[in-house]
Structure 1
Amino acid sequence: MRTVLRTMEVLRALNTRNGATVTELSRRTGISRPALYRMLETLREAGYVGLDLSRRRYGLTMLIRGLAEGFNEEDWITEVARPVLRKLQKQVLWPVDLGIFMDNLMWIRETTRASSTLTIDRGVVGNRLPVLRAATGRAYLAFCGADERAQIVANLIEAREPGHEFAADRPAFEAMLDRIRANGYGERFGEEPHESGAIAVPILAGDRVLGCVNMTFIRRSMGPQEAAARYLGQMQRAAAEIASGAASLGADS
């Protein structure tokens, strides 16, 4: 019980300070830094806390609203996104996913891969993908707000994980984002996993991106341009339907 109360104290401290370092949290709560690191890592794994790597500051994610406002991210994923994705998969036949950005990664939060006969890579709900190696991540970065994008890019460069070094090449990076905006979708092709390609479109809620709808296809069957020519309109309509349904549940606020 004491651990639960201490965790709630940390969450309250993060909420009132709009983010804090471990040192600041220790000073405010009286909890030792080793204990805080363990608690914060647990909260990060659960999705309630994110880490700004460039400043070493922890902050609350959108999932925490479920503790205060009665809103649960699962509401719009389960009630809205899941049926829309199932309908889309029946139209395009290829497997489709919902990707959510959280803690500098793209998370697969919903997928139809189990029900698609064309699935070749069995991605599962909960899988985490590097932002710049995923079609969903590239689409998210292209369409999210400028301030959010700048912070994400700073975090990716600071993390120095494989694939993220591309963000430091600003001319090439910005050219990629411009191309994605012009096309209306992000893509992955000719990269791991090599047997498949993917295109992804954003779920837009005003100036925010709630997530991305992703479609994976067999690489030898077509490329991103052909996939977009065939399916982009259906994917964008599905994304708009998800955005509208999420708004009705208050997920876009």
Structure 2
Amino acid sequence: MDNVRTISRGIDLLEFLNRSGKATGAHIASQLGLSRPSTYRILETLTACGVVRYSEKDNKYALDWSAQTLASGLTERSRVLCVATPYLYELQKKVQWPTDLAIHENGVMVVKESTHPISPYSIESGIVGSRHPVLCGSLGRAYISFCPKGERDAILKNFFSRCTGGYEYFNSMQQIEWMIAKTRADGFGSRQQDVNAETSSIAVPIRFLGRVLACMDISWIASAMSFDEAVKKFHAPLDEARRAVERQLAAETMLN
């Protein structure tokens, strides 16, 4: 119980620093209703972990850069998932085939929302929470093709073996670069039975302020229609859903 309480207090402290920017230990203790000894113990632990930094110049604590980036990323992810989920379900109603929404985490795409359970044409289950190497599906291919170059280079450098997942069709950077160029030219990531022989899919990136926050896809049973037929049928509504999400993100930013 004590460990749980300490973790909870640590989270409260991080959230406070994320809101306030910088603060003394005494001010943090008073604002969170904690004793000073408890506050300083938590601050010492977080500082040792590299999450919080202390400035002797003004005797104040602040989130370290890495923690600020994490907090910003978590906020953006939560926001885009909230905004995009209704459009994901509207898209499924239009096309009937399953739709998914995924975010990138350390070289893999993690499916956060899916309409597979309600689609009459779904042949897959357990989609939400599933993780897919970033090069091995339309969602990941859309992500890596449209994310900033620096981020893309870091993914390929640090997670190359995990990204490829052992699939021979991406065993060289030349093949990856060709895929990225094609994806950017098409405007969508694609998977044509190369990972799952039964289904194919296309995906688009949801972009905001120069970053890719998430990706949205439509998948279908490959034997039901050709890839070209599916692209002709699905790309326009998928891209319209993507634009609607991006417009709402921009509008909410303006209001805030």
TM-score, normalized by length of structure 1? 0.71
Whether 1:230 aligns to 2:237 is no
Give a deviation string over 1:223-244, Cα, whole Å, max 9, x none. 3322111111111110011112
Inter-CA distance 187–117: structure 2 relative to 1 (3 Å threshold): same
Larger Rg belongs to: 2
Partner of residue 182 from structure 1, selected from 168, 180, 185: 185
1:214 aligned partner: 217
SS at match of 2:109: strand
Inter-CA distance 185–8: structure 2 relative to 1 (3 Å threshold): same
Give a deviation string over 1:110-153, Cα, whole Å, max 9, x none. 11111110111124322211111111000111111111110111
1:140 aligned partner: 143
1:65 aligned partner: 72
Partner of residue 128 from structure 1, selected from 131, 134, 151: 131
Q: Which residue identity lines up with residue 99 of structure 1 in the other structure?
A: A
Q: Show structure 2 runs of 5+ residues with no match.
A: 23-43, 52-64
Inter-CA distance 160–214: structure 2 relative to 1 (3 Å threshold): closer
1:8-157 to 2 correspondences below 5 Å: 29-30=47-48, 59-60=66-67, 64-65=71-72, 71=75, 73-78=77-82, 80-157=83-160
Q: Which residue identity lines up with residue 99 of structure 2 in the other structure?
A: V
1:197 aligned partner: 200
Alignment: residue pair count = 214
Could you tell me how far apart the structure 1 residues matched to 2:216 and 2:181 are? 19
Inter-CA distance 161–135: structure 2 relative to 1 (3 Å threshold): closer
Report if aligned partners of 1:135, 1:200 keep a CA contact under 8 Å in 2.
yes
Q: Which residue identity lines up with residue 78 of structure 2 in the other structure?
A: E
Inter-CA distance 89–64: structure 2 relative to 1 (3 Å threshold): same
Inter-CA distance 176–30: structure 2 relative to 1 (3 Å threshold): closer
Could you tell me how far apart the structure 2 residues matched to 1:27 and 1:149 are? 33
Q: Which residue identity lines up with residue 77 of structure 1 in the other structure?
A: L
Could you tell me how far apart the structure 1 residues matched to 2:174 and 2:233 are? 31
Could you tell me how far apart the structure 2 residues matched to 1:60 and 1:5 are? 16
Report if aligned partners of 2:139, 2:217 keep a CA contact under 8 Å in 1.
yes
Could you tell me how far apart the structure 2 residues matched to 1:104 and 1:9 are? 30
Shift of 1:178: 0.6
2:175 aligned partner: 172
2:26 aligned partner: none
2:54 aligned partner: none
Inter-CA distance 99–138: structure 2 relative to 1 (3 Å threshold): same
Instruction: Please report the RMSD computed on the Cα atoms of aligned residues, expressed in angstroms.
Output: 3.6
Inter-CA distance 165–250: structure 2 relative to 1 (3 Å threshold): farther
Q: Show structure 1 runs of 5+ residues with no match.
A: 17-25, 37-57
2:62 aligned partner: none
Q: Which residue identity lines up with residue 104 of structure 1 in the other structure?
A: G
TM-score, normalized by length of structure 2? 0.70
Q: Which residue identity lines up with residue 187 of structure 1 in the other structure?
A: S
Give a deviation string over 1:178-211, Cα, whole Å, max 9, x none. 1111111111122232211111111122421111
Shift of 1:75: 3.8
Could you tell me how far apart the structure 1 residues matched to 2:174 and 2:90 are? 39
Report if aligned partners of 2:92, 2:115 keep a CA contact under 8 Å in 1.
yes
